[in-house]
Chains A and B, each alone.
Chain A
Amino acid sequence: MNLWRVFAYATRHLYLYKRSLPRLMEVFYWPLLDLLLWGFVTVYLGRLQTPVPGFVTFFIGALILWDMLFRSQQGISVSFLEDVWSRNLLNIFVSPMTQAEYIASLLVISVVKLILTSTVMITLAFVLYSYNVFHMGLSLIPLIANLIVMGWSIGIITTALILRFGQEAEVLAWGVALLFQPVSAVFYPVSVLPPPLRAVARFTPSAHVFEGMRSVIASGVFPTGEALWAAGLNAAYLSLAIAFFSWNFRVVKKKGLLVKIGE
């Protein structure tokens, strides 16, 4: 793998954020809106003397962490769509950049976008609600890492589907991650789910992350088991996502669809 090419392609997206107001808004506007809306709802519900201890902490923490997964996925799918929209995809695919380098640079872009967005959210949560996400301490590292990797898997699969079905499948880039939100038990414990969905949650890495987050906030105990489960599932899903992308890329080339994306 040529890292020079990986970073060259990632630079293309950094230039974009420097110049495009709509893209910059994607980093700041939506997270800000989410945080304002749900943050104030949480504060209000907190004042109703809910029986759940640390209600505000659970909710805002979950909001910030969920946004990390969402941005991680979008960092991949939307970055790919940028090349579709600007009719630049063929320039990339006729360059010496390999498939692995292409995926690697999407991952780099995703991390950069995530850092930008999370910095905004964490700062605003502190300013508006005096909420300090870092009170979770070092436990945050495995929790966030697992969410990022799950976002990558969803992003890679979404990108593969857009490659296969063209721009009509673009809507997947905005909606697929949300499909996992109910079973991720972001704002409630997994035990609330009906048994069939609880079984699905067991195989959803983010569900283990949010269970872990609640445990850390409530008791200060980091649930190693949950983190390991999430890591194991993520390793399997990421491998499957990359294998699916590769297989799909071959199918797309065979069907002559690569040149039709964006038409």
Chain B
Amino acid sequence: MCALVEVRGLTKVFNGVAAVDNISFDLYEGEILGLIGPNGAGKTTTLQMLLDLTTPTSGEVRIFGKAIAEDRAAILKAVNFSSSYISLPHSLTVRENLSIFARLYGVAKRAGRIRELALSFEIEDILDVPVRRLSSGQITRVCLAKALLNDPLVLFLDEPTASLDPDIADKTRRLLQNIKAERGLAILYTSHNMKEMEEFSDRVVFMDMGRIIAEGRPDGIKERFGGASLEEVFLKIARGQAR
């Protein structure tokens, strides 16, 4: 397997405090990597540095073998991002929003691509509805559709299923797994849903206080920390009871 994202010695210090402290990991083609940890563990800051939204204090991020800070536009053409904390222009319809982002990413055959994603995320009946009239779950699905517009090779997701009902969350996970299997899509995502993490991730990176404290397959992590589930491991770590 080929590493699409390489993180080496990544560190971010804010006002003398290390939010992310010398972390290194890889994200491989066709892999779903879960980034987990308690609040303040440094997950979101890590994601921001991977997307070049925050400049690292030291260390390096390479995507497709190139430094993100140096080859940003070319890399971001084949990368995308979605978060339950961002939205889209409220006055525009779903179709207008998707069409604008399709243009920004240089997507050919935009109308067909939008139709295809609308079917996958079950948003075809709201394509001509302004975003302000949508529920938060519908907005999350539209943002996920936006994140797949450019057929990315790497997808970063920040709590992607946080506002979705169990049915749509399950369908979304299946859809992402299918794309991963078909095209080798690599996904790095954060979530506080440990059950989802356990079932969905090929591998997890466990962070606490800015550091990676464990990395590996969910079963391996459970075994190492003596937990019956990732949730149990999470609670042990968050409460300082981990071995």
Contacts and interface: CB of A to CB of B under 8 A. Distances in A.
Tell which of A9, A12, A20 has the most Cβ of chain B within 10 Å.
A12
A198 interface: no
Contacts, number: 101
Tell which of A4, A83, A91, A258 has the most Cβ of chain B within 10 Å.
A91
Interface in B62-98: 72-74, 76-77, 79-81, 83, 85-93, 96
Tell which of B100, B106, B130 has the most Cβ of chain A within 10 Å.
B100
Interface in A84-107: 86-88, 90-98
A15 B96 contact: yes
A226 to B, nearest CB: 41
Contacts of A20: 91
Contact of B87 (A23, A87, A94, A259): A87
Interface residues of A, number: 34
B89 A98 contact: no
Nearest to B14: A256
Nearest to A98: B73
B225 interface: no
Contact of B76 (A88, A94, A256): A94
A8 B54 contact: no
Tell which of A82, A93, A98 has the most Cβ of chain B within 10 Å.
A93
A86 B88 contact: yes
Interface of A: 2, 4-5, 7-9, 11-12, 15-16, 19-20, 23, 82-83, 86-88, 90-98, 250, 253-256, 258-259
Given A20-B91, A96-B76, A256-B48, 20 more contacts: A2-B106, A5-B103, A7-B103, A8-B104, A11-B103, A15-B92, A19-B91, A19-B93, A82-B89, A86-B87, A86-B131, A88-B87, A90-B83, A94-B81, A95-B101, A96-B73, A96-B104, A250-B55, A253-B55, A255-B14
